Amino acid sequence: MEKIILDCDPGHDDAIAILLAAGNPGIELLGITTVAGNNTIENVTRNAQAVCQVAGIDVPIARGASVPLVTPQIVSEDIHGDGGLDGPVLPEVTGELDPRHAIDLIIDTVLAHPPKTVTLVPVGPFTNIALAMRKEPAIIERVKQVIVMGGSYTRGNVTPSAEYNLYVDPEAAEAVFRADWPVTMVGLDLTHQALATPELQDRVRAVGEAAGDMEISQFILDIWGFIGKTYEEVFEFPAPPVHDACCVAALIDPLVMATEPAHVAVELHGQWTKGMTVVNFADRPGMHHSTGVAAELQDHRTLVATELDWPRFADLVVDAVARLTAARSA
Ligand code: BDR
Ligand code: CA
């Protein structure tokens, strides 16, 4: 069992990450923490609660940072809609939030478990993770690993060079990549391969139809309907990428993606490149090594995701939907 804390900003693909984590028997979802990113902290927290309510997921949910560390806040209404999870009808939230701030839930949970057993999965801006490290540095050697959705080594989606989670809070991302813990970067290069194609949507629909219970399947189809439309309009994608779920999938089945060791630096000052991940792969020669900067970039401490096994990924999503749907009638 992989014990995880999912730190998210739902968000359409965040919602699928929650469902995959809760629906897979290999994952123990210790808690969900929220961070301002795709939308305000109020809305993304409400959305996390709503997703859990629809799917019958009972885990602690703690509200986190409402603004990035340094950079002024932005939200992503053009992609995720005014509420951050537009498309599906969200239920009126009835459950209570965990009384702690997200960073305290993260610290308490990591320290309450044996060393190297809890994995952090930030799939929004990394603000909460950076604040938790700052408040309790002991978590750095205590967590098993950090698997992040963010960054890219080929292209951005906010600017030509910066991916959204990095662009929103680059200072937090810099702290997370620099810290001495194992980090896997699941960036756009990988997540743009994880498309919710018509085939995957048909399979999710079929799960609900076979069970005679469309609640969860329809919720997901409505999520993909909305985000698919914006991805088509804004990015000319044929189907929406399920970015954040890729991190959870990698924990369930490492064969779902290939990774390569690399050094990842975060650009904090560039006029056109703020939030860019500058990735120096260990096994891709071509750099001239005689400068001091080059020496630092030889510390290939991060695993960077490169290739997705889409059929394996799709099977995991369908399986989780089937299990969550079956659990509703159990
Ligand atoms: C990332 O930004 C958000 O819009 C998504 O939820 C994902 O985490 C993709 O760039
Ligand atoms: Ca996200």
- Give the Å distance between the CA of 147 and the centre of ligand 2: 13
Residue 67 sits in which domain range? 2-196+237-255+311-329
Domain count, the chain: 1
Q: Are 288 and 294 in contact (CB under 8 A)?
A: yes
Considering the domain boundaries, does residue 84 fall inside one? yes
Q: Is the pLDDT of residue 15 over 70?
A: yes
Considering the domain boundaries, does residue 299 fall inside one? no
User: How confident is the model at residue 24, as a pLDDT?
Assistant: 98
User: How confident is the model at residue 295, as a pLDDT?
Assistant: 72
Cis peptide before 64 (omega within 30 of 0): no
Considering the domain boundaries, does residue 45 fall inside one? yes
- Give the Å distance between the CA of 318 and the centre of ligand 1: 21
Considering the domain boundaries, does residue 276 fall inside one? no
Residues of the chain above pLDDT 90, percent? 94
Q: Is the pLDDT of residue 293 over 80?
A: no
What is the Cα–Cα distance from 252 to 272, expressed in whole angstroms? 37
The pTM (predicted TM-score) of the whole model is 0.97
Spatial CA neighbour of 320 closest among 22, 13, 15: 22
User: Which one is catalytic: 12, 80, 243, 263?
Assistant: 243
User: How confident is the model at residue 330, as a pLDDT?
Assistant: 81
pLDDT class of 26 with cuts at 50, 70, 90: very high
Tokens, residue 234: 């804004």
Least confident of 228-237, 268-277, 291-300: 291-300
Q: 80 an active-site residue?
A: no
Q: What is the CATH number of the domain that holds 18?
A: 3.90.245.10
Q: Is the pLDDT of residue 30 over 90?
A: yes
DSSP characters over 226-280 = HHHHHHHHHH--SS-B-TTHHHHHHHH-GGGEEEEEEEEEE-SS-TTTTTBEEEE
Q: Are 278 and 164 in contact (CB under 8 A)?
A: no
User: How confident is the model at residue 48, as a pLDDT?
Assistant: 98
Q: Is the pLDDT of residue 289 over 80?
A: no
Pocket of ligand 1 from Cβ distances under 6 Å: 11, 13-14, 38, 76, 79, 123-124, 149, 157, 163-165, 243-244
Q: Report which protein residue has its CA nearest ligand 1's atom 2.
A: 164
Arithmetic mean of pLDDT over the chain: 96
pLDDT class of 287 with cuts at 50, 70, 90: low
Q: Is the pLDDT of residue 136 over 80?
A: yes
Specify the ligand 1 atom closest to the Cα of 76: 4
Q: Is the pLDDT of residue 290 over 70?
A: no
Convert the pLDDT of each residue in 254-282 to its tens digit: 999 999 999 999 999 999 999 999 999 98
- Give the Å distance between the CA of 199 and the centre of ligand 2: 23
Spatial CA neighbour of 169 closest among 219, 212, 124, 220: 124
Specify the ligand 1 atom closest to the Cα of 80: 4
User: How confident is the model at residue 299, as a pLDDT?
Assistant: 84
Q: What is the mean pLDDT of residues 69-93?
A: 96
User: How confident is the model at residue 298, as a pLDDT?
Assistant: 79
Considering the domain boundaries, does residue 227 fall inside one? no
Considering the domain boundaries, does residue 180 fall inside one? yes
User: How confident is the model at residue 134, as a pLDDT?
Assistant: 98
User: Which protein residues have a CB closer than 5 Å to ligand 2 (ion)?
Assistant: 9, 11, 14, 123-124, 244
Considering the domain boundaries, does residue 274 fall inside one? no
Considering the domain boundaries, does residue 213 fall inside one? no
Least confident of 170-179, 188-197, 233-242, 289-298: 289-298
